[in-house]
Amino acid sequence: MTLYSNGMILYHGSCVTVEKPNLVLSRKSLDFGAGFYTTVNREQAVAFAQKVMTRNDKESQSVSIYNFDEEAAKTSLDILQFDSPDKDWLDFVHKNRHCTYIGKQYDLIIGPVANDDVYATLIIYEQGILNVEQTLEALKIKNLYNQYVFKTDKALSFLKYTNNVKPEEVS
């Protein structure tokens, strides 16, 4: 398969290899709503593959690898990008996790993803124990990776499957 000259590598962890992402199978109550979730961080994809395998009571895991033509996508897609976990990001994540977001729809959303430690902070915020400022302060010390969430078939057209690896093969 031909890689884009301006491409970047993205990973998707699951209990199956995903050569052709299907948006219909996506869950709605995730950080950025329904979509196909990928990350630039290989280890994060491996960890997510393990979680999906356990959650779905499966016996296999896979990390699908894609080449993403980011430069071409930027000229063609409606993209929302969060550079850091700020108040707008927190608000957006909170609304999506509770399926109450009714704002503008985007083709692609890029921004911080929460690991387990960050999810715990978000839950404490959602329970009203922390206010916005306390939550954002707590998130400053967390290790956040970026996620690329493909929300439309148009966005997915810029993502090309290249390979997959079993998590135990990832160095």
Tokens of 58: 């499966």
Q: Whole-prediction pTM value?
A: 0.83
Render each residue's pLDDT in the chain as its tens digit; 171 residues. 334 455 799 999 888 888 999 998 888 888 899 999 999 988 888 887 887 777 767 677 889 999 999 999 999 999 999 988 888 988 898 899 889 999 999 999 999 876 556 677 778 888 889 888 888 887 775 666 789 999 999 999 999 999 988 766 554
Length of the chain: 171
Helix, strand, coil distribution of the chain in percent, nearest 5: 35, 25, 40
Predicted local distance difference test score (pLDDT) of residue 1? 35
Q: Which residues lie below 8 Å from residue 74, measured CB to CB, with a gap of 6+?
A: none
Closest CA to 124 of 116, 137, 112, 135: 135
Delineate the domains of the chain, giving CATH numbers in brackets: 8-169 (3.90.175)
